[in-house]
Structure 1
Amino acid sequence: MSNQEVMTDYLLAAIEGLKAAGAKRAVISPGSRSTPLALLLHRDPDMDCFVDVDERSAAFFALGMTKVDGKPTILLCTSGTAAANYYPAICEAEAVNLPLIVLTADRPPELRGVGAPQAMDQQNLYGSHVKKMIEMTVPENQPNMLRYSFWQAANCVTKAKKQPQGPVQINFPLREPLLPDFERQSKIQQPFVYVDPIKQLSQEMGQQLLPHLQKKGVIIVGESLTLDQAKCLRLFAAKIGWPIIGDPLTNLATCGVESGVFISQADLLLPHVDATFQPDVVLRFGRLPVTKNVLLWLNRLPESATWVFVDPSAQWQDQLHRANYLIEAEIDVFVSHWQDQQFRIDHDWITQWEAVQDAANQIITDQFTSHPFDESQSVRILQQTLQADAQILLANSNAIRFFDRYGSETSKPYRVYGNRGVNGIDGLISTVAGIAMVSQKPTYLLIGDLALYHDMNGLQLLRQYHLPVTIVLLNNNGGGIFSFLSQNTLSPEDFEPLFGTPLNLDFNKVAALYEANWTLAETASMFQAQIEASLSQPQFQIIEVRGTQTEPVLLWENSQKLFAEGWSK
C-alpha cells in the first residue's frame, strides 16, 4: 500500500474524530506541508471551510466566529513560522476560554533538528497557552492506528470544550508525497458521545449564602456575557435590591432590560463616593470590569466585607485575593437557585446608588450639549444609536474606555464584543470579520488608527467574503491612550516618537485599496445620520472621526471636576 493511501486513511480518521466531537468549521491558511489536511477538510461536505492566507489574521477570524456561537473552530496551517503567527490569537482564546482546535502540519522526525527548511520546534510552540498538545504519530493505517487517530482528534475537541474552555494543538508530522488519494473513504464508523456533568448549586451552599444575600451588597460583572446572561443578572439585581456594576462587554447596558440600578458611569463616580456606599457583600461574576477605578474602589473596601465569586470555569481569577466563597456555576444556574426566595430590600441603599448614577449621567449629557464634535461624542452617539440585533466589537485602548465612560442604558438589545483576554490591539478587524460571518447581523467595529493599522490585512477578509461591517475609526493620529497615562508628562521629544507615534496615514486610500466606502464625519448630526443609514443599509465602510490626542483628556478631566464639585454639594 502506498504512503499516499496510508496518509489519506489516517487523516480521514482524524477528521472524522474532529466532526464526531463537534468541530465542523475550519479556517485554512494554505501551505505545502498542510496540503493533505487542507484538501480533505475543504472537500468534506460536513465541514464549513474558510480560507485566509495570513495566519495571524486567520486565527483572529476563527476567534471571532467562536465568540458568536461558542462552537469550536479548527485552524490549519503549514509548518514553521506559519504556526507561530497563530500565537497572539491563541493567547487571547486561552485568556477568555474559547475553544480553538489548532492543527499544525510538521516535518517528520527525521527532518527535525538537521537543518531542513521550514522546520522548528512545534511541540512546545504555544506552551501553557493551550490546554493540551498532541504530537500525532507519522501516519499508519492499521485498524488500531486509525482508531488512535480518530480518538486523539475527538478527545482534543472534547478537552477544548470542557470547562474551562480553551485552545488545543494537534501536531501532524507528514512525509511526502503530500497529495491525498481522493478515492479513499473513511474507514471509521465509531460513535463518540461525551456528556458534561450537570452542575447545580447545592442546598447546603445556598443556605450558607442566603444570610449574606440579605445584606447590603453590590454585584460586580466583568466577563463577556451573552444578552440572555446579561438579562438574567439585571433581573436578579432588581430582585435582590443591589446595584450592578459592569463594563460594556457584559452587555448589561444593552441587553434591553432596564430593571434595577445599573451603574454605567462607574469610572466617573466611584472615586468620589463616601463610606455610606460601602457594601457588606460583593458578589462577583467573572473578571473585573475594564475601568481601573472599579478595582481601586473595591480594594479600598474594609476587610469585614464578604466576597462571593461565581465562576463557571472554576479558574478563580481574583486578582484582589478577597474571595470568601467560590461558586462553580453558570449564571443561569446560580440565579435560578433563588427564584422562589424573597429578599429584604434596603430601599435607602438602592436609592442612593440610583441618585449618584443619575448625577454622573447628567454630567456627561450636559458636557456634550456644548462640546465640539470629536471622538468622545461620536462614541456616545454610536452607543445610543445602535438598534436591536446589531452588534459591535470594541477595540482596546481608547475605544472601549470611551464606550464605557460615555455610554448609558438603552432599551434596544444589541451585542457588544471585545478582545479583553490579554488586551492586545492586534487582530481586531479579523475578529470582527469572524463575528459578522457567523451572525449575519449588522456589525460594527469601533477602533483607533493604530489598532486598524495593526490588522489592515483583516480588511481583506471583509472584502473577500463581502461582509457589510461598518468601521468607526477614531483617528487621533497615534497612541491617544498614552495621553491619559503618566507618559503624558514626558517632554515632546520623548513622548512623540515612543508614545504619540503618529502614523500620518490617509485612510481614504486604505479604504480604496480594499474596496470599502469611506466618509469623514465632521459634525454630530452627520455622524448620527451615517450610523442610522448603516443600520438600514449595511455595507463595508469606514466612517472616520478625526481628533487630537489631547481633546479627550481635557473633556474627561472637566467631567471629573464637574462631578466632584456637584456631588460634594
Structure 2
Amino acid sequence: MAGAAGRGAGSGGGPVSATDVARSVVLALVRAGVREVVVAPGSRNAPLSFAAYDAAEAGLLRLHTRIDERTAAFLALGLTRGGSRAAVVCTSGTAVANLHPAVLEAWHAGVPLVAVTADRPARLRGTDANQTTDQMGLFGPQVATHDLDTVLDDLPAADGPLHLNVQLDDPLVPPDRWHPDAVPAAPPPPRPAEPVGTTVPLGPRTVVVAGDDAGPRARRLAAAAGWPLLAEPSSGSRTGPALRTYRLLLGSSLGADVERVVVFGHPTLSRPVAQLLARAEVLDAEPTTRAYAATLVADPVVDGPDDPAWLEAWQRADASVSRQLDALLDAEEARGGLTGLHVARAVGRALPPGGHLVVGASNPVRDLDLMQPAYDVGSRRKTIANRGLAGIDGTVSTAIGASLARREGNRNLALMGDVTFLHDAGALVIGPDEPRPDLTVVVANDDGGSIFATLEQGAPEHAHAFERVFATPHGVDLAALCQATRTPHWRVDSAPELTHALDSPAGGVEVVEVRVDRSRRRALDEAVRALRP
C-alpha cells in the first residue's frame, strides 16, 4: 500500500519485518475504533495473531479465537451488528474464501466489518507456492481491498466492509513480546448539519414501509402523518403504531387502495410488499439503488396528520385479523401440535425491555413478522437479522457475536429453524478460555426445510421430489450434537414448556429445541393467507 496509509521501514529505519507490519495493522485497527478481533489459527497469519494477542493482554481490544474461518467471520459480523466494531483475521488460501459469505452479507447490509487476510509476498504469487492464490479482489469489486506490504499508519476509509490483504514474509514469529501503550481512538468526524427534510404532501392514501435497519425515523414519520406503519421485525421500527398483520392486510381491499408508499430501510420479507412496491408510487427515504422505481426523498417530513379515517380503517382491520390468527393457532395447538408460528409468538412475548433477539432467515423471520407485537416506544427491545442477502449462513455465530457485544445481564435470544442451526453448528465449538455470552438459541425443529412447503415447490404436483430435494429431512439428534460441545439443551413439546424454558435461562449459551410438525405447514399457511378483516 502506498501513500499516507503506509510507510516503508521499521521503527529503526531498517527493513520492514512481518512483525512490524502486523503490529502496525493492529494499532491501526484500534485507532479506528475496532475493539474486537476474531482470529482463526494459521501459520501465515502468525504475526497478526501474536500482535492481536499482545494487544488484548494490554487491554486495547478483546480477542476471540475460532477454528473455522466462516464461523469467525460471522462472529465478527455479529459483534459489529451488536454495536462493537470487529475485525476477523485469517491465514492465506481457502481460509480467505471462507470469509466470503460474511463479507458479502456485510456489504449488502452496510456493516463495517474488517477482514484482515494474510498472504505470501508478491514475489511468490503465480509460482504454485503452497496455500497461495490471488486474494486481491476475491470479495468482488464492491468491497474496498488494499494490498499491504509495509507498515500501516491509519485504516483506509471504506463505505461498508474493508479488506486488508497483508503480505507477510519470514520470519513469521516475533523476536520479543509486545507491550503497546494505550492508543487514542481517532476523533469522531464532525457532525453534519441537520438536513432539511423533504416535505411529503398529504392526500394520497399512503403507507410507510420499514424494511431491515430502517430505524425509528419510519415510526416517527408514520406517527406524525397518521399513516399505517408496515414494519418488518428487524426494522427497528416495530414499535408504537406498527401493524402486526400488515402482510395479510395487503391482500385485502385496504391493500388495493394504497396509492403511495414511503420506504425506509431494506424491505426483504414478503411478496405482498414487493407487489405493492411494483405498482404504487414509491418514495424512497434511503440513498441507495433499489430494484423498484422510486423517487428519492431525503429525511421526509409532513406538515401535520392526514385524514384519520385511513389509519383507523387499517387499525380496525389489524385488530380483527390478529384475533382470527390467534384463534386459528389456538385451534391448531388444540389438535396436538406446535408450529413455527407458535414458537415465534412465544419468543416475541419473552423478549423483555432491553432485550435482544437475533432471528434466522426462511420461516422464522416470517413467522415472527406475523406474531411479534409492536413493542412500547423506548423499551429498547432490539431485533436484528442478516437480511443483506437473507442467507441462513452463520446465524448462530452472528447471534453469539451480537450477544457478546452487549452489556452483561441483558436478555439475549435467537430464533431459527433446524436447517439454519445445523448449517452453523460449528459455532458451538467455543474454546474453554473464550468469552461466552448469555444466549438462549430457540430452534424450531421440523426435520427439514418447511419454507419450501409454502412456495411453488410444495404444491401437490411436485410431491414426488419434494422430500428429497427441498424438505431434506436430516434426522439429526440435536441433543447429542449439543452434548458433544457441552452446550446445555432443552427439548420442549408444548407451549407451556416453551414458556417455562424461556423464563428460566441456564446462563451461557443454551439451546431450546421445539419439535414442530411440518406436515400441515402448507395448509396452515393457506389458512393464514385467507384471513380477512
TM-score calculated relative to the size of structure 2: 0.89
Shift of 1:433: 0.7
Q: Confirm or deny that 1:424 pairs with 2:388.
A: no
Q: Confirm or deny that 1:218 pairs with 2:207.
A: yes
Gaps (5+ residues) in structure 1? Answer: 140-145, 328-333
Whole-angstrom distance in 1 between the partners of 2:26 and 2:331: 61
**Paired residues of 1:380 and 1:403 also in contact (CA < 8 A):** yes
**Paired residues of 1:4 and 1:181 also in contact (CA < 8 A):** no
Whole-angstrom distance in 2 between the partners of 1:547 and 1:348: 41
Task: Decide which of 137, 151, 173 is 2:167's aligned counterpart.
Answer: 173
> Secondary structure of the equivalent of 1:371?
helix
Query: 1:364 maps to what in 2?
Result: 325
Task: Decide which of 68, 71, 75 is 1:57's aligned counterpart.
Answer: 71
> Secondary structure of the equivalent of 1:224?
coil
- Equivalent positions of 1:260-339 (< 5 A) are 260=241, 262-274=242-254, 277-279=257-259, 281-301=260-280, 305=281, 307-311=282-286, 314-316=287-289, 318-321=290-293, 323-327=294-298, 334=299
Q: Percent identity?
A: 25
Q: Confirm or deny that 1:384 pairs with 2:355.
A: no
Whole-angstrom distance in 2 between the partners of 1:52 and 1:362: 46
Q: Which amino acid aligns with 1:150?
A: D
Task: Decide which of 176, 186, 195 is 2:189's aligned counterpart.
Answer: 195
Q: Deviations over 1:203-242 (max 9, x none)?
A: xx64xx24x14654211110225xxx43x54343222111
> Secondary structure of the equivalent of 2:165?
strand
TM-score calculated relative to the size of structure 1: 0.83
Q: CA RMSD in A?
A: 2.6
Whole-angstrom distance in 2 between the partners of 1:2 and 1:238: 62
Task: Decide which of 445, 455, 466 is 2:436's aligned counterpart.
Answer: 466
1:169–1:413 distance in 2 versus 1, CA, 3 Å: closer
Whole-angstrom distance in 1 between the partners of 2:495 and 2:62: 42
Gaps (5+ residues) in structure 2? Answer: 1-11
- Equivalent positions of 1:108-257 (< 5 A) are 108-130=121-143, 132-137=144-149, 139=150, 146=151, 149-151=152-154, 154=155, 156=156, 159-160=157-158, 165-182=159-176, 193=187, 195=189, 198-202=192-196, 206=198, 209-210=199-200, 212-213=201-202, 215-225=204-214, 229-230=215-216, 232-253=217-238, 255=239
Q: Deviations over 1:89-124 (max 9, x none)?
A: 000000100111111110112222112111111112
Q: Which amino acid aligns with 1:451?
A: T
**Paired residues of 1:65 and 1:73 also in contact (CA < 8 A):** yes
Whole-angstrom distance in 1 between the partners of 2:356 and 2:255: 38
**Paired residues of 1:91 and 1:129 also in contact (CA < 8 A):** no
Q: Deviations over 1:452-503 (max 9, x none)?
A: 1111110123975333221111111111111011111354431111101110
Shift of 1:192: 5.5
Whole-angstrom distance in 1 between the partners of 2:375 and 2:424: 31
1:184–1:500 distance in 2 versus 1, CA, 3 Å: closer
Whole-angstrom distance in 2 between the partners of 1:270 and 1:191: 48
**Paired residues of 1:12 and 1:185 also in contact (CA < 8 A):** no
**Paired residues of 1:248 and 1:400 also in contact (CA < 8 A):** yes
**Paired residues of 2:71 and 2:427 also in contact (CA < 8 A):** yes
Q: Deviations over 1:340-382 (max 9, x none)?
A: x751431111111111111211111211222224122121122
Shift of 1:129: 4.1
**Paired residues of 1:462 and 1:469 also in contact (CA < 8 A):** no
Q: Which amino acid aligns with 1:277?
A: D
Shift of 1:68: 1.2
Whole-angstrom distance in 2 between the partners of 1:438 and 1:374: 33
1:527–1:175 distance in 2 versus 1, CA, 3 Å: same
- Equivalent positions of 1:435-450 (< 5 A) are 435-439=402-406, 440=408, 441-450=410-419
Task: Decide which of 555, 562, 566 is 2:524's aligned counterpart.
Answer: 555
1:193–1:379 distance in 2 versus 1, CA, 3 Å: closer
Task: Decide which of 381, 403, 428 is 2:368's aligned counterpart.
Answer: 403
More helix by share: 1
